[in-house]
Structure 1
Amino acid sequence: MKEGPREKPLGLDMPFDEAFARFLGTDPKEVSENIERGKQKRGPPKQPPPVDDESPD
């Protein structure tokens, strides 16, 4: 399980069925374009810290 602080839940100001219908109607090409645009603004993603392979005794 993931450790650390939990993310705040996504708050939507609409009913679930409307949000789900909008999600299903999203064009995958549009989503990938927005992801690429976001990467250009923020730069490369942060790398996670290295993990020690040694287990505690």
Structure 2
Amino acid sequence: MSTGKEELEVEEDFPVVDQDEVVEPPAEVAKTNLAKRRTIDALLAEKRLQKELEDYPYDL
């Protein structure tokens, strides 16, 4: 066991990072996600309506 009087060697090779060089990844904006969702919903609704038109009996 250690007696507590031993000196440990510590390597301090941490990279020095300048705060100006830190690049944060751009965060997704909620408005962008909402716009994408609305676009998808519109496309799905259009596809559903096209399917209904194909199935509609025109011989009234």
TM-score by length of 1: 0.30
Which of the pair has the greater relative contact order for Cα pairs under 8 Å at 6+ separation?
Answer: 1
More helix by share: 2
TM-score by length of 2: 0.28
